[in-house]
């Protein structure tokens, strides 16, 4: 921006037409769009009048943001007594006034002023400002956190945008400018917590705390607390103790001492995200104890410092019990017994971030222990950073699902944000998707998933559509571009469900990397619950997992009338049909087609959708910079190719069971099943 301005001045001064033409060309080059500015692309050379009734590093940021970007009348920032605005809580704010005569932002706490400033600037950048303003906001969840699955040495589990942005080997001496940019971007959408890394126990010491402190110091004025992932058996792993038994006196003391040490570096450290007794991770069960014992022990150690424990419910073992039922079975018996600084972190669905899952039955069921939703922002199961998948629709679908916990309209949103149950602690987490890539997320549109997570964490009633629109307006342009591209975004997730796993199918992914299709996958000696056949159960009769009363009876974990609805094949929402039922190939669907034909049409529809996205995108060329246009165009080509791969793989494989022809009006397969079965994608980025 600055360069551009300087060059224009230079052009005026020189009045040399040829040189100007040359410089104009140069200007365009300088403006090459690499996506690094995310949605924060407003001009920063405005000189707005902004005043505040208090001073603090956070208020200074709010002033600076407005001063450099706000184009309306003067803004006054006011900290007001909490008693005057009780509804706002800690993070809320009110914006009143008129863009032509003067605006005031009021909040009980400094962070409210920061969020209010970003709100005002968002309205301006999206072109949604009206002259009279009267806004009151407070967030749906107290803790709005991004979980990084980054490793301390750089790789990111399920990250598709390059290595980790955290450079632990350079910290605390070298501070990457990206730390501040990241804090700013997160604060602009209301995120107030980041769990940076899962610390290997041998590094859980003062050296590491110094590094972490350097980041915490950068985050603090943006009102973002740092959190960590930590291994349960850390006291043993560092060699101090022979056990990590949560009821052992020495173990408890070890944690208390560790917390004292950690908090001496970072007095406002947020707490821990803990994965215990899950997928091989250590946990209290290794010592004959329970999740309750484990969570409460660490909660006690951190309580004097006001820290919290986010204990993940992502647990399952290769037993006879349906994996979809296991988290509920393990956690429900402890409802009401966790310490008040423990919150149970539950993935949106009962299995694992599939393109579509019904909501986890723990939402609405655990009424005496706070439960938080964990969404996946990174696209582990939705085409990595190659496919355009806007996840706002996934989040909205989950948040608005009715649990019926307290009768109709007991949505997952209300069951987690404290509306239905008297939760003292409320939180929501998203598994982040940023890495070293210049555009942060790999795919330009993957930025929208980070953005919408933050916006819905702030307000869980927002619609995917409204958020996508405001993101497009800020990130691209406010022109004719918006509505057609919005249309792509809103259809994108359903298209992926269609070409990957329609009608409630799930986990048909290739072994380990979770990118391409491998419904036939069979790895000798592998856990059966890691193989697609465990989930699709294709046979000569039909397809799908019987979770009805006559099967695993997972339906029993849902409230009525949902339980009966899911249980009854005629009433079951067809989007979840094969999730809850093993359905005959010739079963008559609501459309009048057989299951087999319907399946074929869904796969075909997914492919057609992506082709349509390509056409819409290509027509957008006049409205988009060349760099992002070409990048997204090339990604859509990959996606179109992959959609056909998925369709052919799944249909040709399931056809070996159904023995039925693919309906004749559908595009014919272009692959041979044998060839597809030979594909091994070892080179894809994962772990
Ligand atoms: C699954 C990932 C695995 C993660 C796990 C988790 O495949 O790599 O470790 O989630 O949530 O989706 O911990």
Report the mean per-residue pLDDT for the chain. Answer: 94
- The verdict on the CB of residue 380 being under 6 Å from ligand 1 is yes
What pLDDT score does 194 carry? 99
Flag whether pLDDT at 443 surpasses 90.
Answer: yes
Cα 531–Cα 533–Cα 534 angle in degrees, nearest 5: 70
User: Which among 518, 534, 663 is positioned nearest to 603, based on CA atoms?
Assistant: 663
Confidence class for position 109, pLDDT limits 50, 70, 90: very high
Atom of ligand 1 nearest to the CA of 314: 11
- The verdict on the CB of residue 374 being under 6 Å from ligand 1 is no
Q: Which of 151, 157, 280, 512 to mutate to test the pocket of ligand 1 (most atoms within 8 A of CB)?
A: 157
Flag whether pLDDT at 463 surpasses 70.
Answer: yes
What pLDDT score does 391 carry? 99
- Give tens-digit pLDDT for 135-186: 999 999 999 999 999 999 999 999 999 999 999 999 999 999 999 999 999 9
DSSP string, 561-612: THHHHHHSTTTS-GGGHHHH--EETTPBPTTSSBHHHHHHHHHHHHHHHHHH
How far, in Å, is the centroid of ligand 1 from the Cα of 119?
34
Residues 6+ away with beta carbon under 8 Å from 398: 348, 349, 359, 373, 375, 412
How far, in Å, is the centroid of ligand 1 from the Cα of 161?
17
Flag whether pLDDT at 2 surpasses 70.
Answer: no
Lowest mean pLDDT among 54-63, 521-530, 570-579: 521-530
DSSP helix, strand, coil percent of the chain (3-state; round to 5): 45, 10, 45
User: Which among 368, 372, 301 is positioned nearest to 332, based on CA atoms?
Assistant: 368
Give the Cβ contact number of residue 203 at 10 Å.
Answer: 14
Decide if 193 contacts 147 (C-beta within 8 A). no
Flag whether pLDDT at 228 surpasses 50.
Answer: yes
- Give tens-digit pLDDT for 316-331: 999 999 999 999 999 9
Rounded average pLDDT over 410-422? 98
Residues 6+ away with beta carbon under 8 Å from 160: 378, 379, 384, 385, 386, 433, 435, 442, 446, 685
- Give tens-digit pLDDT for 291-323: 999 999 999 999 999 999 999 999 999 999 999
- Give tens-digit pLDDT for 21-74: 333 433 343 456 999 999 999 999 999 999 999 999 999 999 999 999 999 999
Atom of ligand 1 nearest to the CA of 374: 11
Lowest mean pLDDT among 30-34, 191-195, 200-204, 625-629: 30-34
Lowest mean pLDDT among 85-89, 152-156, 486-490, 536-540: 85-89
Rounded average pLDDT over 221-238? 96
13 versus 145: which is more confidently predicted? 145
Quick one: what percent of the chain has pLDDT higher than 90?
A: 93
Confidence class for position 498, pLDDT limits 50, 70, 90: very high
How far, in Å, is the centroid of ligand 1 from the Cα of 250?
31
Burial label for 374, CB within 10 Å (0-12, 13-18, 19+), is buried
What pLDDT score does 680 carry? 86
Flag whether pLDDT at 591 surpasses 80.
Answer: yes
Flag whether pLDDT at 420 surpasses 70.
Answer: yes
- Which residues is 572 bridged to in the sheet? none
What pLDDT score does 479 carry? 82
Q: CB-side exposure of 501: number of CA atoms within 13 Å? A: 29
- The verdict on the CB of residue 511 being under 6 Å from ligand 1 is no
What pLDDT score does 657 carry? 98
Flag whether pLDDT at 284 surpasses 50.
Answer: yes
How far, in Å, is the centroid of ligand 1 from the Cα of 455?
24
User: Which among 579, 595, 581 is positioned nearest to 550, based on CA atoms?
Assistant: 581
How far, in Å, is the centroid of ligand 1 from the Cα of 286?
20
Tell me which residue has its CA closest to atom 11 in ligand 1. 314
Lowest mean pLDDT among 213-227, 233-247, 565-579: 233-247
Tell me which residue has its CA closest to atom 1 in ligand 1. 352
Distance between CA 527 and CA 462 in Å, rounded? 40
Atom of ligand 1 nearest to the CA of 347: 11
Q: Which of 158, 273, 276 to mutate to test the pocket of ligand 1 (most atoms within 8 A of CB)?
A: 158
Confidence class for position 486, pLDDT limits 50, 70, 90: very high
What pLDDT score does 32 carry? 63
Rounded average pLDDT over 560-577? 98
What pLDDT score does 28 carry? 40
Enumerate the active-site residues.
279, 352, 380
What pLDDT score does 513 carry? 86
498 versus 7: which is more confidently predicted? 498
Decide if 551 contacts 576 (C-beta within 8 A). no
């Amino acid at each position: 921006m600055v360069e551009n301005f300087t060059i224009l001045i230079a052009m005026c001064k020189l009045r040399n037409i040829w040189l100007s033409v040359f410089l104009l060309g140069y200007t365009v080059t300088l403006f090459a769009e690499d996506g690094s500015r995310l949605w924060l692309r407003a001009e920063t050379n405005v000189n707005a009048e902004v005043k505040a009734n208090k001073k603090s590093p956070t208020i200074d940021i709010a002033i600076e943001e407005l001063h450099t970007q706000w184009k309306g009348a003067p803004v006054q920032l006011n900290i007001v007594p909490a008693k005057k605005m009780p509804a706002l809580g800690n993070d809320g704010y009110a914006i009143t006034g008129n863009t032509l005569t003067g605006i005031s932002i009021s909040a009980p706490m400094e962070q409210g002023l920061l969020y209010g400033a970003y709100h005002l600037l968002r309205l301006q950048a999206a072109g949604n400002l009206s002259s009279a303003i009267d806004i009151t906001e407070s967030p749906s969840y107290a803790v709005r956190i991004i979980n990084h699955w980054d490793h301390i040495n750089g790789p990111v589990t399920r990250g598709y945008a390059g290595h980790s942005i955290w450079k632990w080997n350079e910290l605390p001496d070298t501070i990457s400018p990206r730390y501040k940019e990241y804090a700013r971007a997160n604060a602009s959408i209301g995120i107030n917590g980041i769990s940076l890394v899962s610390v290997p126990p041998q590094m859980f010491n003062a050296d590491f705390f110094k590094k972490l402190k350097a980041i915490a110091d950068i985050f603090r004025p943006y009102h973002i607390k740092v959190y960590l992932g930590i291994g349960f058996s850390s006291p043993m792993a560092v060699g101090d103790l022979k056990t990590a038994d949560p009821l052992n006196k020495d173990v408890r003391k070890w944690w208390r001492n560790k917390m004292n040490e950690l908090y001496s570096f970072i007095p406002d450290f947020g707490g821990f995200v803990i994965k215990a007794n899950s997928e091989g991770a250590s946990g209290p069960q290794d010592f004959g104890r329970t999740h309750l014992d484990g969570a409460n022990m660490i909660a006690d150690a951190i309580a004097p410092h006001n820290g919290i424990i986010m204990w993940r419910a992502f647990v399952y073992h290769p037993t006879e019990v349906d994996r979809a039922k296991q988290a509920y079975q393990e956690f429900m018996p402890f409802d009401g017994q966790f310490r008040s600084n423990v919150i149970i972190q539950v993935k949106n669905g009962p299995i694992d971030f599939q393109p579509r899952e019904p909501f986890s039955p723990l939402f609405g069921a655990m009424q005496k222990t706070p439960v938080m939703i964990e969404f996946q922002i990174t696209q582990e199961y939705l085409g990595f950073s190659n496919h355009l998948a806007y996840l706002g629709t996934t989040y909205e679908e989950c948040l608005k699902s009715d649990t019926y916990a307290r009768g109709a309209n007991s949505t997952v949103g209300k069951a987690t944000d404290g509306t239905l149950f008297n939760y003292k602690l409320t939180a929501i987490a998203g598994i982040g998707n940023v890495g070293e890539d210049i555009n942060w997320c790999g795919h330009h549109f993957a930025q929208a998933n980070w953005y919408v997570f933050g916006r819905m964490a702030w307000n869980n009633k927002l619609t995917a559509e409204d958020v996508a629109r405001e993101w497009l307006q800020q990130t691209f342009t406010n022109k004719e571009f918006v509505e057609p591209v919005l249309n792509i975004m809103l259809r994108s997730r359903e298209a992926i469900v269609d070409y990957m796993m329609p009608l409630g199918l799930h986990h048909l992914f290739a072994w380990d990397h979770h990118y391409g299709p491998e419904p036939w996958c069979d790895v000798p000696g592998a856990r059966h619950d890691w193989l697609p056949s465990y989930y699709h159960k294709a046979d000569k009769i039909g397809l799908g997992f019987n979770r009805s009363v006559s099967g695993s009876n997972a339906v029993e974990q849902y409230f009525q009338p949902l339980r009966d609805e899911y249980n009854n094949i005629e009433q079951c929402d067809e989007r979840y049909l094969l999730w809850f039922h093993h359905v005959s190939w010739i079963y008559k669907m609501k459309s009048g087609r057989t299951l087999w034909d319907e399946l074929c049409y869904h796969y075909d529809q997914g492919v057609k959708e992506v082709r349509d996205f390509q056409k819409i995108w290509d027509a957008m060329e006049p409205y988009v910079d060349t760099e992002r246009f070409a990048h997204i165009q090339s990604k859509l080509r990959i996606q179109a190719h992959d959609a056909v791969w998925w369709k052919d793989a799944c249909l040709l494989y399931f056809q070996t069971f159904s023995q039925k022809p693919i309906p004749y009006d559908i595009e014919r397969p272009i692959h041979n099943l044998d060839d597809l079965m030979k594909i091994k994608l070892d080179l894809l980025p994962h772990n």
